Chain A
């Protein structure tokens, strides 16, 4: 059974940093592109970033470009999102989501449960 489990959320200060992780199991992790999608409290879904299966290609939403960095360690079946320069508007549940192929495609066939990030002083 494919499972995605996010961790690393918590309280971050404005201008501060957090690192999110997403551990995958039950899947050949390197065969699939992955994305991060966030959901502000009581709001809709916003795609944040994507990475190819081999980690060689990355994409970002304009709202996080230059502040967030997506990466993956296929030997550990783990996806990461480094959040720097945190802003109040980054407060959200962050989900990792799996693509059905190795390149960024956008039909997310598996999602984690999410990890909450709160940005406040």
Chain B
């Protein structure tokens, strides 16, 4: 199975800050990489698919990039409603696997 290593596991930033989360796959996943946002008590929400494509309706302050094994997720200007845990997930082949999550808090 492909291992997804996500960092940092937690971060704290101020409103308006730019934040970046990284995700590394143990093998080439051909850009089949999603980013999800999960708020407490809710199911995850798809933000980015195929490494860099913004899901319909998702604000443009969210972005993703990368290829092969190394990927990044960025929020360009942090908003209070962005407090959540963020997960990367590969879907190159089954079984799909997720990163361990990055918990984002506001300072």
Contacts and interface: CB of A to CB of B under 8 A. Distances in A.
Interface in A61-117: 61-62, 95, 97, 104-114
B98 A46 contact: yes
B98 A108 contact: no
Interface string B1-35: 00000000000000000000000000000001010
B70 to A, nearest CB: 19
B43 A61 contact: no
Contacts of A62: 95
Contacts of A26: none
Interface residues of A, number: 23
Given A45-B89, A47-B95, A50-B94, A108 B46 contact: yes
If over half of B's interface residues share one DSSP class (helix, strand or loop), that class is named, otherwise mixed; here it is: loop
A44 interface: yes
B96 A47 contact: yes
A4 B44 CA distance: 12
A108 B36 CA distance: 9
B43 A114 contact: yes
Contacts of A110: 46
Contacts of A111: 43-45
Contacts of B46: 107-110
B32 A112 contact: no
A107 B98 contact: no
Given A44-B98, A59-B95, A113-B41, 13 more contacts: A44-B99, A44-B100, A45-B44, A45-B87, A47-B94, A47-B96, A47-B97, A105-B91, A106-B32, A108-B36, A111-B43, A111-B45, A112-B43
Interface of B: 32, 34, 36, 41-46, 49-50, 55, 87, 89-91, 94-101
